[in-house]
């Protein structure tokens, strides 16, 4: 029996189509999760309403959402840069942790006066993350070892390394031996903007995104990154220095994650402790993928994900279970991934007796 | 675009629109529901204020937790304390929020939400919430905050904790009496004061039963690593430990103990069912009476500012589950009960006098209790217990 | 170290290596067929929670194992659908399976959190063999799942390298278009091997809750899925080497804690880093293209969706 539909490969997939499919996938994910929520015995519509309100429902809440989005933005940019070159780095979490550590070190021990302190902290964070990322990609560049596993394993190493300082030498001598450092001086804290929760880090994130966008769109290097990512063979034939590009890209990528750590520890937390990264490095992978590695879209998607987290707490206040947020994130990703398929194929009715014509352009 | 796709798209957009409309309507409903709830809470409290003594304040409690009560023993213990509170005060309005990340702005966000909901007495139960709680206290001077495990208090920020070491001392004594071993072990999570003081208390309790006992403490360096906990237990057992105490996140340690035929003491949950041939009893936090005290004093107006509340056995906090009848003989049980009474009354003190640690330093002064600050900032192990912190 | 301590240590190493080993052998099948499943962590957790819920609710280890297999199968089908049929990017799909599996297992596990189960796979001594000094009790006084693992490792090695089926499997991963031309159903076989890999990973997770630490705790695999992936690459896709690597890793993990107990002067956080650093070093030395060494043994088509039309 003939199938009623068949798949036909598209010849092109315009941006408008991609956006539509992406949005539809997200909506479908919401519906799917809504069914799961219903199965859990809650009202999905009320849940979503509460989620939305908790994330965006007031000026303060918008501010909190934006503040939560900052580390996601920077880590998202980190992952986007690397993935664009098919460097599948899972190491943002560890790079961010070391960025926190380095920035904290500067804040606690350098006694730099005035605003220079923040500049040095940010540079230290960038450097720490960048160096760690470089280390993790050296085996790939020179020996062809997969970067996926190495970056992931180094996350654990980075977090244990940071923990050593938190539980040991950098503990606040006046802090009852709790695993925190001494609080940072005022000039080591990123100032908050307009009296809200959002700190200067957001400016850093936006500027970074704009710079990256410019690099990708307008510079030779950005072009090289794209080509190497899509076809290493073509890149080699074109004479591009793949090795150097890999190292440079990872340096920038890790630097961005390190910057995320520096911003977070300086703008939000103000003290060195364990777990500041809070899975931002992993969420960033989802964000980067959903943004199709476009730096400006990363900003938007990070904001939405920040809202998800903020709204999640609000949902708890009316008795909705915690797991909804993770399930929602997972579902959105799965549906968008599945929806990708429709950008490459379309479903065409299989009419008997007719040969399928080749559709040129849409 | 082709017709098929247009149809699908139209369908989806309609669906989306429908959802959005419903969301709009129900968010209105949700708001009304909340106002009604808040309104009724206020009326009840106001009503009861009218009929009870002057000075009574209405109280809406908020509790901020890390992890969930289902998955984390620490949070579960607090949940039990709050349930105890709700049992004694069924009209009390309590908002329980869990799985709040330990670091970052989340605690602050949740506190904002709670204050928005009308909470005026807020407990934050993880040490990681310290900074967020301190900042929130400055931000909301009309709300009373109590943070668990820290020691800085003042104005509208208080601190609270349970003298766990009293009951843990008892469990060390029990473990030594039953096992009669010369070498006992202790498995801890991260080497931080709460965990360290419990390890020391366990050791001192064992020593109370047998002055020649030697101990070793091992830390898994993770709040939550089941495999590491099991392997740590096995490592201690292979080194000759005859009983294990613990402050960990899962029953892996007691299971490992049962596997190898040695005794153990459970922590925070009643771990008897996990290892009925090994668990002598389990330590329980019993936060309940402390929460009850704080809420009741708040309502009747005696608790108006931040205080330092460090409650022990004499107030009903901290304690153990029933002894395992199959493993603990009646004689030993009687001796333990007697010790319990002495700990409660203060005849036996856990941290007293000059105590030497395993690096050679001495803490405390002879004939004096170890000061409370030192207990809560403990970062050393007693001299007959090997291990690094 | 005395003889009995050595026996205890080695025995623990084998048990500690089981979850990673099962998952890694499964992933070898996946990757030989050209599919990279990064979702092992999520699949292991689903297997663990399914097994535990089943054993608590039904009191039967057999049913529990079947449930774990079922969970693995479902996750495998989901992943196969995404990457084989819909040809989505395998890396991101794998990561999303991890996320999904972690969240869903946490939700399912709520009902058994804090519930004890005394039903475990107990060690069964093999007569005669277990009397061999040192190695006897280490290798032959283990539970049924461990014996299954012995058989699995050898059978997998034999299948992949010595049978026609294994040859076909390898061709899927090296050159799927050639296989397609020869009439081999790339899609069907990739589904088969991916699901097989998932099932084995789920069994690895179930070993945790049915034998190693019979309890359920959220996210209790603590990264074992990722170590398994590293092992696959380190072992050059050879099941025998997977076993060796798993024992090594399990052993180092156990060793790190024993060193702490033995009073090593190194801060414990650094000791805990050992397993990860060792894995990375081994990975580098085992798979790195050092001068004069042959190129990577990875299946050439690994990670690329097979698209018939672009042949």
pLDDT, tens only, A284-338: 988 898 888 999 999 999 999 888 888 888 887 777 777 777 778 778 887 887 7
> What average pLDDT does this structure show over B116-142?
91
Residue C198 C-alpha, separation from nearest chain A C-alpha, in angstroms = 18
Domain B53-162+288-314: assigned CATH number? 3.40.50.2300
Contact C232, C2 (CB under 8 A): no
Residue-averaged pLDDT of chain C = 86
Residue B23 has pLDDT above 80, yes or no: no
Residue B312 has pLDDT above 80, yes or no: yes
pLDDT of res. A328: 80
Q: Are residues A226 and A165 in the same domain?
A: yes
**Touching partners of B (3+ C-beta pairs < 8 Å):** A, C
Which of A334, A336, A343, A348 should one mutate to test binding to chain C, selecting the residue with the greatest count of C CBs within 10 A? A334
- Token digits for A121? 């902290």
Q: Is the dihedral of CA C167, C169, C175, C178 positive or negative?
A: positive
pLDDT, tens only, B204-217: 999 999 999 999 99
Contact B111, B104 (CB under 8 A): no
Residue B142 has pLDDT above 60, yes or no: yes
Where b means 16+ CB within 10 Å and e means fewer, A72-84 reads bbbbbbbbbbbbb
At C88, the pLDDT band (50, 70, 90 cuts) reads confident
Residue C5 C-alpha, separation from nearest chain A C-alpha, in angstroms = 29
φ, ψ of residue C138 in degrees (nearest 5): -65, -50
Give the closest residue to B217 by CA, choosing from A168, B197, B170: B197
**Which of B338 and B17 is assigned the larger pLDDT?**
B338
pLDDT, tens only, C208-261: 999 988 888 888 888 888 889 888 887 888 999 999 889 888 888 888 888 888
| Percentage of chain C exceeding pLDDT 70 | 95
Contact C246, C39 (CB under 8 A): no
How far lies C126's CA from each of A75, A96, C9, C61, in Å?
A: 53, 51, 20, 20
At A179, the pLDDT band (50, 70, 90 cuts) reads confident
At C297, the pLDDT band (50, 70, 90 cuts) reads low
pLDDT of res. B147: 94
Task: Output the pTM of the full model.
Answer: 0.82
Give the closest residue to C307 by CA, choosing from C78, C88, C75: C88
How far lies A108's CA from each of A102, C121, C304, in Å?
A: 10, 52, 48
Helix (H) or strand (E) holding B362: strand B362-363
Residues in chain C: 311
How far lies B6's CA from each of A351, B9, B10, B13, B219, in Å?
A: 19, 5, 6, 10, 61
Residue A360 has pLDDT above 70, yes or no: no
Contact C229, C40 (CB under 8 A): yes
**Which of A264 and A348 is assigned the larger pLDDT?**
A264
Give the closest residue to A78 by CA, choosing from A291, A333, A325: A291
pLDDT, tens only, A19-34: 788 888 888 988 988 8
Q: Is C272 on the interface with A (CB under 8 A)?
A: yes
Place of tokens 């030993």: B332
Helix (H) or strand (E) holding C137: helix C135-140
Measured between alpha carbons, how far is C240 from C225 in angstroms, rounded to an integer?
19
Chain A: which residues have CB within 8 Å of chain C? Answer: 9, 40, 88, 90, 139, 142-146, 148-150, 152-154, 156-157, 160-161, 163-164, 167-168, 282, 285-286, 289, 321, 323, 326-327, 329-331, 333-334, 337-338, 340-341, 344
Measured between alpha carbons, how far is B173 from B167 in angstroms, rounded to an integer?
10
Pick the CATH number of B164-284+319-386 from 3.40.50.2300, 3.10.560.10, 3.40.50.10860, 1.10.3720.10: 3.40.50.2300
Residue A362 has pLDDT above 70, yes or no: no
| Percentage of chain A exceeding pLDDT 70 | 95
Where b means 16+ CB within 10 Å and e means fewer, B220-238 reads bbbbbbbbbbbbbbbbbbb
> What average pLDDT does this structure show over B254-263?
92
**Touching partners of A (3+ C-beta pairs < 8 Å):** B, C
Give the closest residue to A246 by CA, choosing from A221, A210, A280: A221
Q: Are residues A104 and A208 in the same domain?
A: yes
pLDDT, tens only, C11-56: 888 998 999 999 999 999 999 998 999 999 999 999 999 999 999 9
pLDDT of res. C20: 93
How far lies B95's CA from each of A318, B111, B147, B226, B253, in Å?
A: 9, 11, 16, 30, 33
pLDDT of res. B20: 43
Kindly give, in sequence order, each residue whose CB lies less than 8 Å from that of residue A298, ignoring residues fewer than 6 positions away: A73, A76, A77, A80, A209, A287, A288, A291
Residue-averaged pLDDT of chain B = 84
How far lies A246's CA from each of A142, A155, A252, B66, in Å?
A: 11, 20, 10, 40
Kindly give, in sequence order, each residue whose CB lies less than 8 Å from that of residue B313, ignoring residues fewer than 6 positions away: B163, B166, B167, B319, B340, B343, B344
φ, ψ of residue B360 in degrees (nearest 5): 105, -10
Nearest-Å Rg of the Cα atoms of chain A is 23
Where b means 16+ CB within 10 Å and e means fewer, B253-269 reads bbbbbbbbebbbbbbbb
Q: Are residues A161 and A254 in the same domain?
A: yes
Which of A26, A35, A90, A157 should one mutate to test binding to chain C, selecting the residue with the greatest count of C CBs within 10 A? A157
pLDDT of res. B13: 52
Q: Are residues A37 and A115 in the same domain?
A: no
At A2, the pLDDT band (50, 70, 90 cuts) reads low
pLDDT of res. C243: 92
| Percentage of chain B exceeding pLDDT 70 | 86
pLDDT, tens only, A45-61: 888 888 888 888 888 78
Least confident stretch, A294-303, B65-74, B111-120: B65-74
End-to-end CA distance of chain A: 30
Residue A178 C-alpha, separation from nearest chain B C-alpha, in angstroms = 6
Residue A105 C-alpha, separation from nearest chain B C-alpha, in angstroms = 18
What residue ranges do the domains of chain C occupy? Answer: 3-116+141-306
> What average pLDDT does this structure show over B48-76?
74
Strands B144-148 and B121-124: parallel
At B145, the pLDDT band (50, 70, 90 cuts) reads very high
ipTM: 0.81
> What average pLDDT does this structure show over B149-154?
86
Give the closest residue to C39 by CA, choosing from C108, C85, C103: C103
Q: Are residues A189 and A205 in the same domain?
A: yes
Residue B31 C-alpha, separation from nearest chain A C-alpha, in angstroms = 9
Residue-averaged pLDDT of chain A = 85
Residue C174 has pLDDT above 70, yes or no: yes
Query: What's the total number of domains in chain A?
Result: 2
**Quick one: DSSP state of residue A19?**
H
Residues of chain A found within 8 Å of residue C38, distances taken between Cβ atoms: 148
Residue B385 has pLDDT above 50, yes or no: yes
φ, ψ of residue A90 in degrees (nearest 5): -105, 10
The vertex-B135 CA angle with B131 and B137, nearest 5°, equals: 115
> What average pLDDT does this structure show over B283-305?
93
Q: Out of C110, C220, C268, whose CB is closest to B388?
A: C268
Strands B60-64 and B93-97: parallel
Measured between alpha carbons, how far is C220 from C231 in angstroms, rounded to an integer?
19
**Quick one: DSSP state of residue C211?**
I
The vertex-C300 CA angle with C182 and C151, nearest 5°, equals: 85
The vertex-B271 CA angle with B265 and B276, nearest 5°, equals: 85
Neighbours of B177 (CB within 10 A): 23
What residue ranges do the domains of chain B occupy? Answer: 53-162+288-314, 164-284+319-386
Measured between alpha carbons, how far is A324 from A87 in angstroms, rounded to an integer?
31
Q: Out of A88, A161, A333, whose CB is closest to C99?
A: A333
| Percentage of chain A exceeding pLDDT 90 | 32
pLDDT of res. B282: 94
Outline where B52-105 has alpha helix (H). Answer: 73-88
Residue B16 has pLDDT above 50, yes or no: no
Contact B265, B174 (CB under 8 A): yes
Q: Which domain holds residue A227?
A: 69-320
Q: Which residues pair with B356 in a beta bridge?
A: B362
Strands B183-188 and B243-247: parallel
Residue B9 has pLDDT above 80, yes or no: no
Domain C3-116+141-306: assigned CATH number? 1.10.3470
pLDDT of res. B55: 57
Q: Is C100 on the interface with A (CB under 8 A)?
A: yes
**Quick one: DSSP state of residue B284?**
E
For helices A92-109 and A242-263, give the axis angle rounded to 10 degrees.
60
How far lies C27's CA from each of C21, C40, C155, C200, C232, in Å?
A: 10, 8, 15, 8, 7
Give the closest residue to B345 by CA, choosing from B353, B337, B334: B337
Partner-chain contact B190 A176, CB within 8 Å: no
**Quick one: DSSP state of residue B183?**
E
At B18, the pLDDT band (50, 70, 90 cuts) reads very low
Q: Are residues A229 and A252 in the same domain?
A: yes
In a domain, A59, yes or no: no
End-to-end CA distance of chain B: 67
How far lies B92's CA from each of B88, B89, B119, B293, in Å?
A: 9, 6, 11, 14
In a domain, A215, yes or no: yes
């Amino acid at each position: 029996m003939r199938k009623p539909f068949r798949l036909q490969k598209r010849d092109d997939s315009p941006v408008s189509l991609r956006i539509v499919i992406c949005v539809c996938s997200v909506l479908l994910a919401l519906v799917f999760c809504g069914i799961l929520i219903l199965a859990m015995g809650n009202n999905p519509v009320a849940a979503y309403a509460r989620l939305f309100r908790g994330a965006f429902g007031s000026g303060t809440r918008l501010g909190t959402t934006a503040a939560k989005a900052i580390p996601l933005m920077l880590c998202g940019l980190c992952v986007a840069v690397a993935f664009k070159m098919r460097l599948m780095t899972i190491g943002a979490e560890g790079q961010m942790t070391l960025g926190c550590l380095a920035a904290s070190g500067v804040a606690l021990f350098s006694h730099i006066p005035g605003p220079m302190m923040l500049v040095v902290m940010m540079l230290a964070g960038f450097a720490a993350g960048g160096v760690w990322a470089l280390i993790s990609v050296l085996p790939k560049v020179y020996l062809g070892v997969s970067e996926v596993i190495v970056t992931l394993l180094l996350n654990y190493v980075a977090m244990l390394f940071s923990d050593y300082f938190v539980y040991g030498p950098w503990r606040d001598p006046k802090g009852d031996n709790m695993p925190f450092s001494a609080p940072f001086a005022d000039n080591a804290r990123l100032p908050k903007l307009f009296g809200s929760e959002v700190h200067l880090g957001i400016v850093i994130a936006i500027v970074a995104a704009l710079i990256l966008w410019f690099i990708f769109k307008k510079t030779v290097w950005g072009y090289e990154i794209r080509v190497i990512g899509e076809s290493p063979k073509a890149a080699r034939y074109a004479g591009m220095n793949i090795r150097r590009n890999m190292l440079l890209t990872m340096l920038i990528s890790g630097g961005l994650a390190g910057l995320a750590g520096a911003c977070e520890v300086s703008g939000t937390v103000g003290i060195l402790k364990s777990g500041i990264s809070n899975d931002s490095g992993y969420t960033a992978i989802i964000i980067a993928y959903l943004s199709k590695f476009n730096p400006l879209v990363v900003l938007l998607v990070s904001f939405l994900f920040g809202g998800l987290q903020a709204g999640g707490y609000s949902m708890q206040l009316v008795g909705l279970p915690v797991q909804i947020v993770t399930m929602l994130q997972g579902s959105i990703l799965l549906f968008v991934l599945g929806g990708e398929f429709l950008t490459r194929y379309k479903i065409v009715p299989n009419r008997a007796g007719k040969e399928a014509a080749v559709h040129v352009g849409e | 675009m082709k017709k098929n796709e247009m149809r699908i798209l139209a369908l989806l957009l309609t669906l989306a629109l429908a959802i959005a409309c419903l969301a709009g309507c129900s968010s209105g409903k949700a708001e009304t529901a909340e106002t009604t709830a808040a309104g009724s809470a206020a009326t009840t409290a106001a009503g009861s204020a009218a009929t009870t003594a002057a000075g009574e304040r209405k109280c809406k409690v908020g509790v901020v937790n890390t992890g969930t009560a289902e998955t984390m023993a620490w949070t579960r213990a607090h949940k039990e304390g709050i349930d105890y509170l709700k049992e004694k005060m069924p009209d009390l309005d309590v908002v329980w929020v869990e799985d709040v990340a330990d670091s970052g702005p989340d605690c602050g966000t949740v506190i904002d939400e709670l204050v928005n909901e009308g909470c005026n007495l807020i407990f934050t139960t993880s040490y990681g919430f310290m900074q967020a709680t301190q900042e929130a206290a400055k931000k909301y001077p009309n709300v009373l905050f109590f943070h668990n495990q820290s020691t800085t208090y003042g104005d509208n920020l208080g601190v609270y904790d349970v003298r766990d070491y009293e009951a843990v001392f008892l469990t060390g004594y029990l473990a030594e009496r039953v096992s009669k071993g010369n070498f006992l072990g202790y498995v801890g999570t991260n080497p931080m004061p709460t965990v360290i003081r419990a390890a020391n208390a366990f050791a001192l309790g064992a020593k109370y039963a047998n002055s020649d006992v030697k101990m070793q403490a091992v830390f898994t360096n993770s709040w939550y690593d089941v495999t590491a906990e099991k392997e740590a237990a096995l490592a201690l057992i292979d080194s000759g430990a005859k009983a294990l105490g613990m402050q960990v996140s899962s029953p892996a340690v007691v299971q490992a103990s049962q596997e190898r035929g040695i005794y153990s003491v459970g922590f925070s949950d009643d771990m008897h069912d996990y290892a009925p041939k090994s668990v002598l009893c389990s330590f329980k936090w019993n936060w309940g009476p402390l929460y009850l005290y704080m809420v009741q004093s708040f309502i009747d107006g005696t608790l108006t500012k931040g205080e330092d509340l460090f409650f022990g056995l004499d107030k009903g906090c901290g304690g153990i589950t029933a002894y395992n009848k199959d493993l603990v003989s009646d004689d030993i049980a009687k001796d333990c009960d007697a010790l319990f009474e002495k700990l409660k009354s203060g005849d036996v003190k856990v941290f007293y006098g000059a105590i030497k640690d395993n690096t050679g330093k001495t803490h405390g002064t002879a004939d004096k209790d170890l000061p409370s600050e030192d207990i809560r900032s403990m970062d050393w192990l007693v001299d007959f217990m090997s291990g690094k912190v | 170290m005395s003889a009995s301590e050595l026996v205890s240590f080695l025995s623990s190493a084998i048990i500690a290596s089981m979850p990673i080993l099962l998952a890694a052998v499964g992933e070898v099948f996946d990757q030989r067929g050209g599919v990279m499943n990064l979702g092992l962590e999520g699949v292991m957790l689903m297997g663990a929670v399914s097994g535990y819920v089943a054993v608590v609710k039904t009191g039967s280890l057999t049913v529990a194992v079947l449930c774990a297999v079922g969970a693995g199968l479902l996750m495998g089908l989901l992943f196969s659908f995404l990457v084989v049929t819909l040809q989505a990017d395998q890396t991101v799909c794998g990561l999303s399976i991890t996320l999904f599996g972690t969240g869903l297992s946490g939700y399912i596990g709520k009902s058994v959190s804090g519930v004890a189960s005394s039903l475990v796979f107990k060690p069964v001594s093999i007569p005669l063999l277990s009397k061999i000094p040192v190695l006897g009790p280490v290798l032959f006084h283990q539970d049924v799942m461990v014996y299954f693992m012995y058989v699995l490792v050898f059978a997998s090695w034999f299948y992949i390298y010595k049978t026609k089926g294994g040859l076909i499997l390898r061709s899927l991963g090296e050159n799927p278009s050639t296989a397609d031309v020869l009439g081999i159903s790339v899609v069907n076989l990739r589904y088969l091997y991916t699901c097989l890999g998932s099932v084995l990973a789920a069994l690895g997770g179930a070993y945790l809750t049915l034998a190693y630490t019979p309890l359920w705790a959220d996210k209790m695999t603590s990264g074992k899925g990722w170590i398994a992936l590293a092992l696959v690459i380190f072992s050059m896709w050879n099941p025998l080497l997977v076993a060796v690597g798993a024992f090594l890793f399990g052993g180092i993990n156990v060793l790190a804690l024993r060193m702490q107990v033995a009073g090593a002067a190194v801060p414990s956080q650094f000791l805990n880093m050992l397993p990860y650093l060792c894995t990375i070093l081994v990975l580098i030395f085992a798979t790195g293209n050092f001068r004069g060494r042959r190129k990577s043994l990875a299946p050439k088509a690994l990670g690329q969706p097979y698209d018939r039309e672009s042949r």
